[in-house]
Amino acid sequence: MKPPRWFRWRPAAIVLGLAVALALLPPVARISVYTQNQLTLTFVTIAAALAWNWLGGYLGQVSFGHAALFGLGGFVAARLQISAHLPMILAWTAGGLVAGLYALAWGHPTLRLRGPYFSIATIGVGEATRLVCTYWDWFTGGSSGMSLPVTAGLKLQLYWYGIAIALVGVATSYWLRRSPLGMALLAIKSDVDAAGDVGISSVRLQDGVLFLSGLAMGICGAFNASYYSFIEPVETLGFEKSISFVFMGVIGGVGTILGPALGAVVFVLVRQYFIASYPQLYLGLFGVLLVLVILFEPLGLTGLSLRVARRFGYRERPDLST
Amino acid sequence: MSVALRAEGLSKRFGGLKAVDGVKLQLREGEILGLIGPNGAGKSTLFSMLAGSLPPTSGRFFLGERELTGLPAFRIARAGVVRTHQIVRPFAMLTLIENVTVAAVSCGRDPDLGRKALEFAGLFDRRREFPQRLTLAGRKRLEMARALATAPKVLLLDEVVAGVNPAEAQEMTRLIRRARDELGISIVMTEHVMPAVMSLANHLLVLDAGKLIAEGSPEQIVRDPSVIAAYLGKAHAT
């Protein structure tokens, strides 16, 4: 079978190689449990940041409510594992599907709004979801949360699943950005009405991307609940969580393929170092970072590294060499 | 000759304002229909209705036998009626080749049509650049190439000649003529640059304050007293 025209072997091989190397780390290099867990958390954060970027970056519809999808996926998966004793992976899938459908339910009407208006609507969705889940005791366990079953060897298993999820996230990002579909998304981002005038169905495409984003977010949230063996509404559904996805996207490079992954790594590292000693400070730090990025390098770390690479004589290939 | 595009009693009302008032229009296949009239006559509103970006208040329109009234813009584009914009609206984040390829693909055409359209508009050598690098005339040609990439049956050109220098205007005029003669596309065009529309149009419609006030061949229209009155005032119309 011939791969599609937009497919490139080299980046695919690099990413796959990296994933295999990471997967071999625990058994071969005997990394500490702490490092292993930090990496697991990074993988799932990467996937979530990428999923946010599909909507916020490729379509320019910046969501401040993606924690709603992350949290809902987590709660549904947790409830299904606790009450219905569903196997973990099945529960994750169900959580993802519910989050995707939920995203469609509020997204189908709100995606007709653009720019700041859409963003404001998502803040409302996020907060409403948090409140409903906080008071919906019998399903979510209310403010005291729910504990999930812990099995032997779970953490190592999650490490590998985390790699797989991040890998799927990267592949989907590549597909959405580089396939002909990606052109249509950028056309919508450039000018939604002009896009319609040449036959691009913005409603269907935006809905589709939001569903994918919700599905991935839900699975990440479900994964997160399994990782902590616990889920409660304040942390998973809070505005802070929603904002964190925006941080990662913007700092890494909105609309790029791997930028948000980079942003996720930075976010996890910085948060880890600061949260213990200065629990409030790290948000302020990210605020400053956000302002600097928007002022000086709208493509974030990706833009910065491209700039450095160009200094050393690198010339990037145009996106579509037809 | 058969009819490509037909509209009956097309009206658009914005509150108390009748922007377009009961316009009847017929575009024959392989012809250019010129739509002229003073500023605010309703030309662009009429275009927006035909392209599906504005729903008409009343009236109907057809592509051949197929009724298009009430369809969303992307369906009308896929059916074969595609517009350009008076104020150019290229996809700023896409290169030129991507601008046209995305149009072709979205209408279910061969992606190669994008390349052909860009060649047709004389922009192929710059295909990897972004629209921002083009002059206004270049962007107007891109606007046209993007519409052509969808292999339209009917092209709606909204002031594609206006605002560029005389040499570029001639080039654009040539392009429009070739679109009709070589590609066999039926065209409705609005234009303020009279030499262009007079030399291109097979048939002219004159719109004033939303109403059709005259129609006929370019030679007839320039002598029509009601047209002169609309443009220059009643004192000149004798």
Within-domain flag for B85: no
Q: Tokens for A132? A: 């409903």
Q: Please name the amino acid found at residue B121.
A: A
Does A318 lie at the interface with B, CB-CB under 8 angstroms? yes
Question: In this structure, are B169 and B218 located in the same domain?
Answer: yes
Q: What is the pLDDT of chain A when averaged over all its residues?
A: 89
The yes-or-no verdict on residue A18 having pLDDT over 50 is yes
Mean pLDDT of A152-180: 92
Give per-residue pLDDT as tens, A290-314.
Answer: 888 888 888 888 888 888 888 887 7
pLDDT band of A317, cuts 50, 70, 90: low
Supply the pLDDT for residue A322.
Answer: 31
Does B93 lie at the interface with A, CB-CB under 8 angstroms? yes
The residue whose two tokens read 């404001």 is A120
Q: Distance, in angstroms, between A57 CA and closest chain B CA?
A: 12
Give per-residue pLDDT as tens, B14-53.
Answer: 988 889 998 999 999 999 999 988 888 888 899 999 999 8
Question: In this structure, are B55 and B108 located in the same domain?
Answer: no
- Put simply, the answer to whether A197 touches B95 (Cβ < 8 Å) is no
DSSP notation for A29-89? I---HHHHHHHHHHHHHHHHHHHHHHHHTTS----S-HHHHHHHHHHHHHHHHHHS---HH
Question: In this structure, are B98 and B169 located in the same domain?
Answer: no
Q: How far is CA A153 from CA A37, A82, A158, A159, in A?
A: 12, 19, 9, 10
Question: In this structure, are B135 and B180 located in the same domain?
Answer: no
How far apart CA A56 and CA A250 sit, in angstroms, is 9
DSSP notation for A255-322? TSSSHHHHHHHHHHHHHHHHHHH-TTHHHHHHHHHHHHHHHH-TTHHHHHHHHHHHHTT--PPPS---
Does B145 lie at the interface with A, CB-CB under 8 angstroms? no
Taking residue A6's Cβ as centre, other Cβ atoms within 10 Å add up to: 16
Question: In this structure, are B128 and B184 located in the same domain?
Answer: no
| Beta-ladder partners of A211 | none
Q: Where are the domains of chain A?
A: 28-238
Q: How far is CA A219 from CA A50, A74, A99, A110, A267, in A?
A: 13, 7, 8, 23, 20
Give per-residue pLDDT as tens, A67-87.
Answer: 999 999 999 999 999 999 999
The yes-or-no verdict on residue B1 having pLDDT over 80 is no
Reported pTM: 0.89
How far apart CA A4 and CA B232 sit, in angstroms, is 60
Does A112 lie at the interface with B, CB-CB under 8 angstroms? no
Q: Distance, in angstroms, between B139 CA and closest chain A CA?
A: 14
pLDDT band of B131, cuts 50, 70, 90: very high
Q: Distance, in angstroms, between A31 CA and closest chain B CA?
A: 43
Does A316 lie at the interface with B, CB-CB under 8 angstroms? no
Q: Number of structural domains, chain B?
A: 2
Within-domain flag for B210: yes
A260: number of CA atoms within 13 Å, CB side? 30
Within-domain flag for B133: yes
Q: Which residues of A touch B130 (CB under 8 A)?
A: none
Within-domain flag for B224: yes
Question: In this structure, are B130 and B164 located in the same domain?
Answer: no
Within-domain flag for B89: no
Q: Tokens for A40? A: 């697991």
Within-domain flag for B130: yes
Question: In this structure, are B171 and B63 located in the same domain?
Answer: yes
Question: In this structure, are B138 and B167 located in the same domain?
Answer: no
Supply the pLDDT for residue A318.
Answer: 46
For residue B55, the domain's CATH number is 3.40.50.300
The yes-or-no verdict on residue A114 having pLDDT over 50 is yes
Question: In this structure, are B140 and B161 located in the same domain?
Answer: no
Within-domain flag for B137: yes
Does A4 lie at the interface with B, CB-CB under 8 angstroms? no
pLDDT band of A315, cuts 50, 70, 90: low
Question: In this structure, are B168 and B127 located in the same domain?
Answer: no
Question: In this structure, are B50 and B8 located in the same domain?
Answer: yes
Q: Which residue from A minimizes the CA distance to B51?
A: A197
The residue whose two tokens read 């429009």 is B176
How far apart CA A45 and CA A41 sit, in angstroms, is 6
Domain that includes residue B130, residue range: 94-144
Does B74 lie at the interface with A, CB-CB under 8 angstroms? yes
Q: Which residue from B minimizes the CA distance to A183?
A: B102
How far apart CA B132 and CA B233 sit, in angstroms, is 40
Q: Which residue from A minimizes the CA distance to B107?
A: A199
- Put simply, the answer to whether B74 touches A191 (Cβ < 8 Å) is no
Question: In this structure, are B212 and B162 located in the same domain?
Answer: yes
Supply the pLDDT for residue A321.
Answer: 34
Within-domain flag for B214: yes
